[in-house]
């Protein structure tokens, strides 16, 4: 099936979002420039010491996580199909003198752009929902990894994507029921931003994600589910005592994030 029209529309949406996101309090680029890492405990505790390791960061947005890993000593290549995002990532890398390579391409075309397999493939928070075909995605990941290499995914939990935007009722299927077409305003980083765009997304159940990885030679070593979000990017959130975010009225009743660490066999 040809998804090129969906990708074109989503790319335009992400270019609009990126222009708002990079100046938002949510991303707080000034603190990042001053040395603050954008990484979260899940990925830091799972990947541990990345010093000297080659890392491919899929759907890197405008590069904060990629450059945070580079600050930790990883040799990073970031990939994203938003030219605005890649332009900003390259600019940050140059301005802050943090070496990293950034490539503008669709995640499905990654293998045409990389020269060698990596020690780590990393992708997190708000990524797979833009991808229609997880088997093709897992094939790219597997081929981009060295034997014994590590794949790390942290994502928002598919249970969240079943709800309407205000978490009042179940609107969508848990599993992949085909494309979801929506018109959005603002961005998760700044809801009041004066932008409107069309977007296409897909829901992916946990079994769909895991089966795709397993069938492409990835052995799952760690699987974690968490009942909070590191990011305040949903409607109706409240902050927990741990400093992280819950949906008001659904606190500790639904999972909000998950992570998978897998090794290429
Ligand atoms: C939510 S962001 C990634 C989040 C990242 N954790 C962050 O906050 O910086 C999702 C990214 O996926 C990218 N993206 C979406 N679909 C893509 C595709 N088919 N190929 C490559 N990049 C894609 C978007 O351009 C965007 O930068």
**DSSP of 91-113:** HHHHHHT---EEEES-GGGGGGT
Q: Mean pLDDT, the chain, as a whole number? A: 98
> Which stretch of DSSP H or E encloses residue 77?
strand 75-80
Does pLDDT of 74 surpass 90?
Answer: yes
Q: What are phi and psi of 212, to 5 degrees?
A: -60, -45
Specify the pLDDT at position 85: 98
Q: What is the pLDDT of residue 87?
A: 98
Length of the chain: 265
Q: Are 117 and 151 in contact (CB under 8 A)?
A: no
User: What CA–CA distance (Å, rounded) separates 262 from 172?
Assistant: 28
Identify any residues that bridge with 261 across adjacent strands, giving them in sequence order.
152, 222
pLDDT confidence of 249, banded at 50, 70, 90? very high
**Contact present, 218 and 209 (Cβ < 8 Å):** no
The answer on pLDDT for 128 being more than 90 is yes
pLDDT band at 67 (very low <50, low <70, confident <90, very high): very high
pLDDT value of residue 1: 79
| Mean of pLDDT values over 55-79 | 98
pLDDT at residue 184, rounded to an integer = 94
Cβ of 64 less than 6 Å from ligand 1: yes
Choose one of 2, 38, 57, 80 to mutate for the ligand 1 pocket test, by most ligand atoms within 8 angstroms of C-beta: 80
pLDDT of residue 50: 98
- Work out the angle between the directed axes of helices 64-71 and 83-96 (0-180°, nearest 10): 30
Distance 9 CA to ligand 1 centre (A): 13
The ligand 1 atom at the shortest distance from the C-alpha of residue 64 is: 9
pLDDT, tens digit (0-9, with 9 covering 90-100), for 79-115? 999 999 999 999 999 999 999 999 999 999 999 999 9
Distance from the alpha carbon of residue 155 to the mean position of ligand 1, in angstroms: 12
Residue 130: CB within 6 Å of ligand 1? yes
Query: What does residue 224 show for φ and ψ, rounded to 5 degrees?
Result: -130, 140
- Distance in angstroms (rounded) separating the CA atoms of residues 214 and 216: 5
The percent of residues in the chain predicted with pLDDT above 70, rounded, is 100
Which atom of ligand 1 approaches the CA of 107 most closely?
Answer: 20
Q: What percent of the chain has pLDDT over 90?
A: 100
Whether ligand 1 lies within 6 angstroms of the CB of 86 is answered as no
- Please answer whether residues 43 and 124 qualify as being in contact, where contact means their C-beta atoms are separated by less than 8 angstroms: yes
pLDDT digits (tens, 9 = 90+) for 197-247: 999 999 999 999 999 999 999 999 999 999 999 999 999 999 999 999 999
What confidence category does residue 144 fall into, taking pLDDT thresholds of 50, 70 and 90? very high
Torsion angle, CA of 155/20/58/258, rounded to 10 degrees? -10
**What single-letter DSSP state applies at residue 128?**
G
Q: How far is the CA of 176 from the centre of ligand 1 (A)?
A: 19
Q: Is 107 in the pocket of ligand 1 (CB under 6 A)?
A: yes
Q: Is the CB of 61 under 6 A from ligand 1?
A: yes
Query: Global pTM?
Result: 0.98
56: which strand partners? 77, 121
Does residue 9 have a pLDDT over 90? yes
Q: What does the CA dihedral 141, 77, 233, 13 come to, rounded to 10 degrees?
A: -90
- Ligand 1 pocket: which of 125, 127, 257 to mutate (most atoms within 8 A of CB): 127
Q: What is the average per-residue pLDDT within 177-204?
A: 96
CA distance 145 to 27: 29
pLDDT class of 263 with cuts at 50, 70, 90: very high
265, 57, 260, 134 alpha-carbon torsion, rounded to 10°: -80
| Packing angle, helices 134-144 and 206-215, rounded to 10 | 40
Positions of E strands within 159-241: 180-185, 196-201, 218-226, 237-239
């Amino acid at each position: 099936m040809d998804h090129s029209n969906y990708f074109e529309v989503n790319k335009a949406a992400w270019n609009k979002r990126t222009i708002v996101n990079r100046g938002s309090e949510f991303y707080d680029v000034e603190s990042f420039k001053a040395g603050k890492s954008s990484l979260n405990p899940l990925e830091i505790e799972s990947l541990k010491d990345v010093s000297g390791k080659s890392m491919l960061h899929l759907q890197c947005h405008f590069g904060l996580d990629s450059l945070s890993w580079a600050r930790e000593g990883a040799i990073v290549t970031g990939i994203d199909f938003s030219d605005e995002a890649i332009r900003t990532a390259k600019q940050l890398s140059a301005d802050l003198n943090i070496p990293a390579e950034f490539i503008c391409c669709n995640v499905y075309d990654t293998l045409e752009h990389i020269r060698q397999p990596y020690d780590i493939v990393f992708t997190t928070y708000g990524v797979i929902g833009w991808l229609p075909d997880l088997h093709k995605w897992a094939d790219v990941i597997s081929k981009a990894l060295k034997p014994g290499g590590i794949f790390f995914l942290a994502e928002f939990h598919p249970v969240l994507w079943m709800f309407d935007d205000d978490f009042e009722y179940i609107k969508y299927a848990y599993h992949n029921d085909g494309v979801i077409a929506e018109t959005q305003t603002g961005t998760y980083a700044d809801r009041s931003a004066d932008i409107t765009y069309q977007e296409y997304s897909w829901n992916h159940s946990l079994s769909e994600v895991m089966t795709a990885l397993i069938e492409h030679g990835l052995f799952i070593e760690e699987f974690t589910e968490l009942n909070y979000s590191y990011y305040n990017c949903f409607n109706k959130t409240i902050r927990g005592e741990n400093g992280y975010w819950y949906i008001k009225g659904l606190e500790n009743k639904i999972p909000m994030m998950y992570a998978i660490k897998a090794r290429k066999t």
